[in-house]
Copies of this chain bind each other. A is one copy, B any other.
Amino acid sequence: MKVKVKVVLKDGILDPQGKAVLHAINDLKFKGVGDVRIGKYIELTFDSLDQSLVENETKEICQKLLANPVIENFDYEIEELT
């Protein structure tokens, strides 16, 4: 089973990396972009097929390891492998 995790800065937390990318985008003459926020994307592959174990471990891994709950939010999707 594959789990796709996104970790993003909370609203209101400054994102200097995003600002730098926005400058680069403007330097390349793209007109449309008004704001950029940068986050992390993590794919966890579980050997187990037990949905509730996967969900519990994912939540705990995000809280303890992948996200800093003071400044970041996380969000995940569980994807069944065919």
Contact = CB atoms under 8 A, between A and B. Distances in A.
A34 interface: yes
Contacts of A38: 40-43
Interface in A35-82: 35-48, 53-54, 57, 60-61, 64-66
Contacts of A40: 38-41
A46 B21 contact: no
Q: How large is the interface on A (under 10, 10 to 19, 20 to 34, 35 or more residues)?
A: 35 or more
29 contacts: A6-B41, A7-B41, A8-B41, A8-B43, A21-B42, A21-B65, A25-B61, A25-B65, A30-B60, A31-B48, A31-B57, A32-B46, A32-B48, A33-B45, A33-B61, A34-B46, A34-B47, A35-B44, A35-B45, A36-B42, A36-B44, A36-B45, A37-B45, A38-B40, A39-B41, A39-B42, A39-B43, A40-B40, A40-B41
